[in-house]
Amino acid sequence: MRTTISVIKCDVGSNVGHHVVPEPLVNVAEISLDRAQKSGQINNYFVFNAGDDLELLMVHEKGEGNKEIHALAWDIFQNAAGKAKDLKLYGAGQDLLKTAFSGNIRGMGPGVAEMEIEERRSDPIIVFAADKTSAGSFNYPLFRMFGDPMSTAGLVIDKSMFGGFKFEILDSKENTKVILNCPAELHEIIALLGTSTRYTVSRVWRAEDNLVCAVTSTTKLSLIAGKYVGKDDPVAIVRAQHGLPAVGEILVPFLHTYFVEGWMRGSHWGPLMPVSLKDSKCTVFDGPPRLVAIGFQVCNGGISLGTMGKPLIADMFDDPAFDMARRESVEMTSVFRRMGEFEPARLSAEGMEYTTLPQIIEKLKGRFKPA
Ligand SMILES: [Mg+2]
């Protein structure tokens, strides 16, 4: 049976600056998705937040890029933004860059990751959602999961992974994409993915049978709007086990923090902090950039259910095993913030292209004399 997992997210407004999605906006989404589930439009859902981003997880049988599913998400974001305006919340409707919905939410502001799968006997899924960062922030962990035999033991031990994986990599500057094979083109993959401000992993397949194993949202808000309007705050869907990396191999790259682009005003490098859903809120310098991970099992077109018919959702970073990464993230925050607006704490000139920095250079233009 073919099942589709859709994660569609949007910053529709936040309580107290860019801090967190408040309950009234979560309620708007839950009421709509409950109605959609009862009418049979979707089979299951889960609403959560990554900092100030409202995240809609919908499981259904309608395939990727489905007009009905995208319209459902679009209407929810419109209604939630309306609610945010009524409550005078901060940045109400921030990511809704276009007004007329034309059948697909891609390119309109919200981030989208969708994966249609042929359900296996048991299909564990992890959904990652980050706040205060950009699409390239998943390059490093996805490489570790599917390309690094020093991280994923299965690449060495499980013969069903010996054929390796294929990475689809998007060039956000040229708007082109390329598929590279790992391990055959390992060095080329690292060469591109290391430039995480430009190249982004958009999809991963198992090479021997093209089984889809990971998808990410690759929206660059600045490229849609032509200026800095907010952080891209990406989501990713990763499939685990049975000839794919185990759940633990998918989570082990987050044992330590690593640096991502985004943070305050989308203009700084910051240490990613893996957190539980209860700590999914941004504070220090609007961060540090946070990452949540929820896990579930796909079951007959939906999510395995627990008591009262509620989907069984696991909060994967709600675990002291990630305390070290959180501690490192705070320590690195302290090091970088001590540097203020000096590189490498702040992004390079190229990374600042869509911020207000060019206006400052423009203002000083006439005062530069030949040296
Ligand atoms: Mg955000």
Q: Render 183-206 in DSSP notation, one character per residue.
A: TTTHHHHHHHHT-TTTEEEEEEEE
List 11, 52, 53, 286, catalytic entry: 11
> According to the model, what pLDDT value does residue 232 have?
86
List 9, 132, 220, 231, catalytic entry: 231
Cα-to-centroid distance, 118 and ligand 1 (Å): 32
List 228, 279, 315, 318, catalytic entry: 228
Cα-to-centroid distance, 119 and ligand 1 (Å): 32
Could you tell me where the beta strands, DSSP code E, fall in 210-330?
A: 211-216, 235-239, 259-262, 268-271, 273-274, 290-299, 302-303, 314-315
Quote the DSSP letter at residue 46.
Answer: E
Specify the pairing of strand 111-118 against strand 259-262.
unpaired
> According to the model, what pLDDT value does residue 149 have?
97
Cα-to-centroid distance, 25 and ligand 1 (Å): 14
Distances (CA, A) of 247 to 145, 316, 337: 10, 10, 34
Three-class SS state of 254: helix
**Proportion of the chain in helix, strand, coil states, percent, rounded to 5:** 30, 30, 40
Quote the DSSP letter at residue 175.
Answer: T
Name residues whose C-beta falls within 8 Å of residue 338's C-beta, 6 or more positions apart in sequence: none
Active site annotation includes 281: no
> According to the model, what pLDDT value does residue 173 have?
85
Specify the pairing of strand 53-60 against strand 44-50.
antiparallel
Active site annotation includes 315: no
Residue 363 has phi, psi (to 5 degrees) of -60, -35
Rounded to whole angstroms, the Cα distance separating 215 from 266 reads: 23
CB burial of residue 188 (10 Å; 0-12, 13-18, 19+)? middle
How many CA atoms, within 13 angstroms, populate the side-chain half-sphere of residue 200?
28
> According to the model, what pLDDT value does residue 354 have?
76
Name residues whose C-beta falls within 8 Å of residue 287's C-beta, 6 or more positions apart in sequence: 132, 262, 263, 264, 270, 273, 333
> According to the model, what pLDDT value does residue 229 have?
62
> According to the model, what pLDDT value does residue 168 have?
97
Could you tell me where the beta strands, DSSP code E, fall in 326-365?
A: none
Element holding 171 (H helix, E strand):
strand 165-171
Cα-to-centroid distance, 332 and ligand 1 (Å): 21
Active site annotation includes 231: yes
Give mean pLDDT in consecutive 10-residue pieces for the chain, a chain of 371 residues: 96 96 98 98 98 98 97 97 97 89 89 97 98 95 98 97 96 92 98 96 97 90 65 93 98 98 94 98 97 98 95 98 98 98 93 83 93 93
> According to the model, what pLDDT value does residue 12 have?
96
Rounded to two decimals, the pTM is 0.96
